[in-house]
């Protein structure tokens, strides 16, 4: 509890003691009023002051105005005890709300407390402690056991374990050695490491993650915006209804003024929309914080709400459902040796960063480095065209062979096939295979149990795509897609799907599809600029199960939001009717306001608890 909270609590306790004294001590007439005015102004002066300030700025109808009118009206009608009690309990509710919100913010801040304070940089042979923002790309930093890794880097010396829980949500430490990439914000566990910086602090993973979380509240969910608009209309409507309740029966029916003014004041107290205005945003805030604990970064509550309505999840294949760790499983040469075919393919693919190209390069003979390609041209969605020692070499898929009017031979199998042609003549094909991730099948099964359809979009050929789809029991698979075809295929799925459609990809090659989907989720995006920019949610490791967890968290968050809305409105409407009919007094009105707000806020805080949600 902060110092401000402690002062507020002390003020409430002193006012409560004075309230009890005023109630118990018998005092005549005006002295009784004065005795109650002391605790009233002690506990409620700030509410009255904010109400006056808001009126001066043209913002009349808010909870401060409602509490001021209701309590002043109670005092004026001789209900001194009720007037003070309403203000007391209102302030108790405000204090509870402030403490609850503060705790949820602190919990999220603790979860995201990954900002490094310093970096140990090697300069002139010595380790110097500097601000991470002052470290340049290429400099060597020293990482000591127990320290937070300050910048994205690559290990150059040493081996050990790294705790990535703050970024990925993964509790099991990851072993690292020379050549492995390290992500800022994670913790070096047990060894002294030296690493070369790959990104300046402003472009590092930790800086981007913090920026993403800090700005997540800017994109509000439709439900959140509705509650805000509802409160703007609801509050003045209730004020005028209370005014009508106070005036019409006495003027039109000759009823006693005191009775109907009291009912109108009860009406005002009940109508305060605090329970909704606070608990709904707090529920979304808790859901976003809880998702962060599981390594799922959400850019706004609107995406959390949309994901809860997902009717289909569309997956990219390579690197999303499969490991993306390709290796050459077969070589089928035509008119040359297998070594020569591999060498030509490797030289043509040498400058490509595609996983298939790297697999071919890894399997090629050592002499591949000799006589490299003179020119290489990337052909989007097809392959490459290269000039190698005066020979025109093509390496790519069957569509490339068709475009060049070359008859491809064979190429059947469960892997990815790279066809090779030399000077217009077919030279054979190379089969590259990939492995399905261990938790891909359980993830698809869990989506099915949720009633969510699982679809795969891939540029891979039909045979290998269907082999993976059969293994995972996907509902639908679309293969042989050019990059631009993926967007069209996604739009077609969105048209025929009843609910929202989410797309899961690597965030780099699939940036257009991530942007087009109702919700784009970038997987395994540690350090990926394109992923964080293009996606609506960022999954900080490469486990498909995070997708199911994100959906489960979003659905749970929305259940809590709807519970709060239904509960608050049901209680308030019931007591509003009872108050108008004369069956509810000011004490019941206090419960309908403060009590309901407390219960709704406690329920909202459950959104922070996500342990077990993803199981």
Q: What is the CATH number for 131?
A: 2.70.150.10
Calculated CA dihedral for residues 459, 462, 467, 473, nearest 10 degrees: 80
What average pLDDT does the segment 373-383 reach?
81
Ranking 5-19, 37-51, 213-227, 309-323 by mean pLDDT, the lowest is 213-227
> pTM score, two decimals?
0.69
Q: State whether residue 477 is helix, strand or coil.
A: strand
Q: Select from 271, 284, 175 the least CA-distant residue to 230.
A: 271
510: in domain: yes
Of the pLDDT bands very low, low, confident and very high (cuts 50, 70, 90), residue 445 is very high
CB neighbours (10 Å) of residue 488?
Answer: 13
What's the CA gap between 382 and 406, in Å, rounded? 14
Confidence band (pLDDT; 50, 70, 90) for 473?
Answer: very high
229 and 277 fall within a common domain = yes
* Packing angle of the helix pair 440-449, 545-580 (nearest 10 deg): 30
One domain, residues 68 and 191: no
Question: What confidence tier does 357 reach under pLDDT thresholds 50, 70, 90?
Answer: confident
More reliable by pLDDT, 598 or 524: 598
Averaged pLDDT for residues 270-297: 78
Structural domain includes residue 497: yes
Dist CA 614 CA 548 (whole Å): 7
Task: Verify that 424 and 565 share a domain, yes or no.
Answer: no
What are the Cα distances from residue 550, in Å, to 288, 310, 499?
Answer: 10, 11, 17
**First-residue to last-residue Cα distance in the chain:** 34
E strands, 209-337, where?
296-298, 310-316, 327-333
Tell me: do 92 and 238 sit in the same domain. Answer: yes
Q: What pLDDT is recorded for position 119?
A: 93
pLDDT the model gives residue 215: 60
- Residues 509 and 595 placed together within one structural domain of the fold: no
Residues 6+ apart with CB under 8 A from 570: none
Domain boundary residue, one of 386, 418, 433: 433
Same domain, residue pair 404 and 451: no
Those residues whose C-beta lies under 8 Å from the C-beta of residue 368, and which sit 6 or more positions away, are 342, 343, 346, 347, 350, 361
Q: Under DSSP, is residue 90 helix (H, G, I), strand (E, B) or coil?
A: helix
Q: Number of structural domains, the chain? A: 4
Helix, strand, coil percentages (3-state) for the chain, rounded to 5, are 55, 20, 30
pLDDT for the residue 481: 79
Q: Angle at the Cα of 189 (from 188 to 190), degrees rounded to 5? A: 115
Nearest to 160 by CA among 198, 192, 183: 192
Residue 208 domain flag: no
Residues identified as active-site: 316
Give the E-state strand segments of 85-199 in sequence order: 119-123, 126-130, 140-143, 153-157, 160-163, 174-176, 181-182, 187-188, 193-197
CB 321 within 8 A of CB 456: yes
Q: Is residue 302 part of a domain?
A: no
In this predicted model, what pLDDT tens digit does every residue of 109-136 receive, in sequence order?
555 566 788 999 999 888 999 999 999 9
**What CATH number is associated with residue 415?**
3.40.1110.10
Q: Give the span between the Cα atoms of 140 and 136, in whole angstroms.
A: 9
CA distance 548 to 286: 18
Same domain, 129 and 167: yes
CB 448 within 8 A of CB 470: no
Residue 513: name the closest of 547, 541, 536, 540 by CA.
536
Cα separation, 374 vs 9, in Å, equals 78
Report yes or no: 535 and 432 within 8 Å, Cβ to Cβ: no
Instruction: State the pairing for strand pair 119-123/310-316.
Output: unpaired
Mean pLDDT score across all residues of the chain: 82
d(Cα 162, Cα 189) in Å, to the nearest integer? 5
What is the spatial distance between Cα 313 and Cα 192, in angstroms, rounded to a whole number? 42
Count other Cβ atoms within 10 Å, centred on residue 497.
16
State how far the Cα of 195 lies from the Cα of 176, in Å rounded to an integer. 11
Residues 177 and 266 in one domain: no
E strands, 234-284, where?
Answer: none
Given a cut of 60, whether residue 81 has pLDDT beyond it is yes
Q: Is residue 297 part of a domain?
A: no
Claim to verify: residue 518 and residue 602 sit in the same structural domain: no
Confidence class for position 238, pLDDT limits 50, 70, 90: confident
CA 378 to CA 388: how far, in whole Å? 15
So what's the pLDDT on residue 30? 84
> Domain check: are 414 and 454 in the same one?
no
Looking at 433, 464, 491, the residue that finishes a domain is 433
pLDDT for the residue numbered 596: 81
Strand order of the sheet with strand 187-188? Answer: 174-176, 160-163, 187-188
Weakest-pLDDT range from 25-34, 36-45, 412-421: 412-421
H or E element at residue 355: helix 355-363
In terms of domains, do 342 and 480 share one?
A: no
Domain with 482 in it: 308-322+436-540
Say if residue 615's pLDDT is above 60. Answer: no
Tell me how far CA of residue 553 lies from CA of 171, 291, 560, 609, in angstroms.
19, 7, 11, 10
Q: In the 8-state DSSP scheme, what is residue 501?
A: E
* pLDDT-based confidence at residue 446 (cuts at 50, 70, 90): very high
Residues 318 and 462 in one domain: yes
Last-in-domain residue among 374, 409, 433: 433
């Amino acid at each position: 509890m902060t110092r401000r909270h402690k002062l507020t609590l002390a003020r409430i306790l002193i006012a409560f003691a004075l309230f009890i004294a005023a109630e118990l001590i018998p005092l005549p007439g005006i002295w009784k009023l004065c005795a109650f005015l002391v605790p009233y102004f002690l506990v409620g002066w700030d509410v009255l002051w904010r109400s006056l300030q808001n009126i001066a700025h043209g913002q009349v109808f808010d909870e401060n105005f409602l509490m001021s009118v209701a309590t002043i009206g109670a005092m004026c009608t001789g209900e001194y005890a009720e007037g003070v009690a309403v203000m007391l309990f209102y302030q108790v509710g405000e204090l509870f709300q402030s403490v609850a919100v503060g705790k949820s913010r602190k919990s999220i801040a603790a979860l995201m407390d990954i900002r490094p304070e310093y970096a140990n940089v090697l300069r002139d042979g010595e380790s110097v402690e500097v601000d991470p923002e002052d470290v340049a790309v290429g400099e060597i930093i020293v990482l000591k056991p127990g320290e937070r890794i300050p910048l994205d880097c690559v290990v150059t010396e040493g081996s050990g374990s790294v705790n990535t829980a703050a970024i990925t949500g993964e509790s099991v430490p990851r072993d690292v050695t020379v050549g492995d990439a390290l992500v800022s914000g994670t913790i070096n566990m047990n060894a002294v490491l030296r690493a070369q910086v790959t990104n300046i602090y402003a472009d590092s993973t930790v800086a981007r993650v913090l920026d993403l979380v800090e700005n997540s509240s800017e994109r509000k969910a439709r439900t959140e915006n509705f509650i805000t608009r509802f409160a703007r209309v609801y509050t003045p409507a209730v004020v005028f209804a209370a005014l009508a309740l106070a005036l019409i029966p006495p003027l039109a029916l000759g009823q006693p003024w005191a009775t109907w003014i009291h009912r109108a004041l009860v009406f005002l107290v009940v109508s305060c929309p605090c329970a909704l205005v606070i608990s709904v945003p707090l529920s979304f805030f808790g859901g976003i914080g809880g998702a962060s604990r599981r390594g799922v970064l959400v850019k706004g509550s609107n995406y959390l709400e949309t994901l809860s309505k997902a009717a289909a999840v569309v997956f990219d294949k390579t690197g999303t459902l499969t490991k993306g760790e390709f290796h050459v499983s077969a070589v089928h040469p035509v008119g040359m040796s297998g070594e020569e075919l591999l060498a030509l393919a490797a030289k043509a693919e040498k400058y490509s960063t595609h996983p298939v190209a790297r697999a071919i390069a890894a399997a090629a003979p050592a002499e591949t480095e000799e006589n490299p390609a003179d020119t290489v041209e990337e052909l989007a969605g097809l392959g490459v065209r290269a000039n190698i020692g005066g020979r025109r070499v093509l390496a790519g898929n069957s569509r490339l062979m068709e475009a060049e009017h070359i008859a491809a031979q064979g190429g059947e199998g469960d892997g990815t096939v790279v066809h090779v042609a030399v000077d217009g003549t077919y030279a054979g094909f190379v089969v590259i295979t990939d492995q399905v991730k261990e938790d891909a099948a359980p993830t698809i099964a869990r989506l099915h149990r949720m009633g969510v359809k699982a679809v795969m979009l891939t540029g891979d050929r039909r045979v290998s795509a269907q082999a993976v789809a059969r293994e995972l029991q996907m509902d639908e698979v679309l293969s042989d897609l050019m990059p631009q075809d993926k967007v069209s295929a996604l739009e077609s799925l969105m048209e025929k799907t009843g609910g929202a459609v989410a797309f899961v990809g690597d965030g780099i090659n699939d940036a257009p599809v991530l942007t087009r989907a109702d919700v784009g989720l970038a997987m395994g995006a540690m350090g990926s600029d394109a992923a964080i920019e293009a996606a609506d949610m960022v999954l900080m490791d490469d486990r498909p199960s995070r997708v199911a967890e994100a959906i489960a968290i979003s659905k749970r968050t929305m259940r809590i939001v709807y519970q709060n809305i239904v509960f608050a409105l049901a209680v308030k409407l019931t007591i509003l009717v009872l108050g108008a009919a004369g069956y509810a007094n000011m004490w019941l009105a206090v419960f309908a306001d403060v009590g309901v707000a407390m219960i709704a806020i406690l329920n909202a805080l459950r959104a922070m608890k996500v342990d077990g949600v993803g199981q």
